[in-house]
Amino acid sequence: MSTTQIRRIAINTGGGDAPGLNAVIRAATLAALARGWEVWGVRHGYRGLLDMSHLVPLTAESVRGITHRGGSVLGTANRGNPFELPVKTDSGTVTVDRSAEVVANFRARGLDALVCIGGDGSLRIAHRFVQKGIPVVGVPKTIDNDLSGTVVTFGFDTAVGTATDAIDKLHTTAEAHERVMVVEVMGRYAGWIALNSGLSGGADVILIPELPFDIAKVCEKIQRREAAGRRFSIVVVAEGARPLGGELTTRGPKEAGREVLLGGIGQRVAEEIARLTGKETRALVLGHLQRGGGPTTFDRLLGLRFGAAAVRALAEGKVNVMVALDPPQVKTIDLGQAIERIKTVPLDSDTVLTARSLGVCLGD
């Protein structure tokens, strides 16, 4: 598609929200308006492309003063994949494919391209629309930081900051009560949030999905600290962590058309620690606090850079790509390549080696 063909674009935000979404929306909108393009916001993830009453015009006025705001002015949804929409029938829930309606609606509204701000799941859906003829530029969003091809996704820095603040606070109460505090953080199948916040917050144990843990090693570490007079410990557990030879802990069965929800491993680890060490132990789940609030400076700037870069890519005739941070540049990479596999923590990475040098127990 050449530059001259773009007249009208749509922007959607899919999947779980991440701090920085509004910065991307603002930058992409202003950059597109500056080129004389019309910009439409798709409300509620992909749902707005099925029911076009969810399309809203984006103007300089509607994106004013939103860079610092969390959430998404367009709303978002991590259900409602048009390729697999759940429908209740007498014999249970089945999924139906309504993607052809999305394509027809897109064309009927004269839209030339979609800027899809999403994580792994939403960008996979976007890629399926590419194959159905919708030109897409992806923008990598997720607090989990698990998208390949970009050094970092926006939202991650804010989530790590929130988790680190929580760990700092847990230290004081853990020390006062001489307890073990176990905190479960998000991240799905990747340990980025756990590792970065655990290390920054001075955790004693960090358990990540990439390294199945041995609970005996975790307890040894706590008991070594106890013997040295350090009568409290902080354990950070990624929601996707699992014991050696064990399974992931999930919250209920997988619902049709959406990812299975992880959670509960923190409580299990806390119970095991209490049983094996006799220490008073408490668990908490940080949960959606990690997605809430305004973005850090880093995420605001990255969001603005990604939004502007997405429009530049379209203006240069690049579609079916994802913008990606490759410091100091924001570049574009093939969308298909970006979603081929998720980005997990390399066990030989400098951050893992740093944790080991500091004596942090990684459960192995």
Catalytic residues: 144
Residue 281 has, within 13 A of its CA and on its CB side, a CA count of: 22
Give the Cα separation of 203 and 181 in Å (integer).
10
**Closer Cβ to ligand F6P, 140 or 187, answer by number:** 187
CB of 209 to ligand F6P, least distance (A): 11
Give the Cα separation of 277 and 269 in Å (integer).
12
Query: 9 in helix, strand or coil?
Result: strand
295 touching ligand F6P, by CB under 6 A = no
CB of 120 to ligand F6P, least distance (A): 8
Structure tokens at 185: 């953080």
CB of 235 to ligand F6P, least distance (A): 19
The residue number whose beta carbon is nearest to ligand F6P equals 186
Among 9, 262, 321, 335, binds ligand F6P (CB under 6 A): 262
250 touching ligand F6P, by CB under 6 A = no
For the chain, what is the radius of gyration of the CA atoms? 22
Cα torsion for 42, 44, 49, 50, to the nearest 10°?
A: -150
Distances (CA, A) of 216 to 39, 201, 265: 56, 23, 16
Distances (CA, A) of 112 to 73, 134, 315, 332: 22, 8, 12, 19
According to CB under 6 A, which residues from 181 to 210 bind ligand F6P?
186-188
Nearest to 73 by CA among 88, 89, 57: 57
Among 52, 261, 276, 333, binds ligand F6P (CB under 6 A): 261
CB of 19 to ligand F6P, least distance (A): 12
**Interface size with ligand F6P, residues (CB under 6 A):** 13
The residue behind tokens 């340990």 is 191
Among 19, 119, 191, 243, binds ligand F6P (CB under 6 A): 119
291 touching ligand F6P, by CB under 6 A = yes
16 touching ligand F6P, by CB under 6 A = yes
Binding mask 210-229 for ligand F6P (x = CB under 6 A): --------------------
268 touching ligand F6P, by CB under 6 A = no
Residues that bind ligand F6P (CB under 6 A): 16, 78, 119, 142-144, 186-188, 239, 261-262, 291
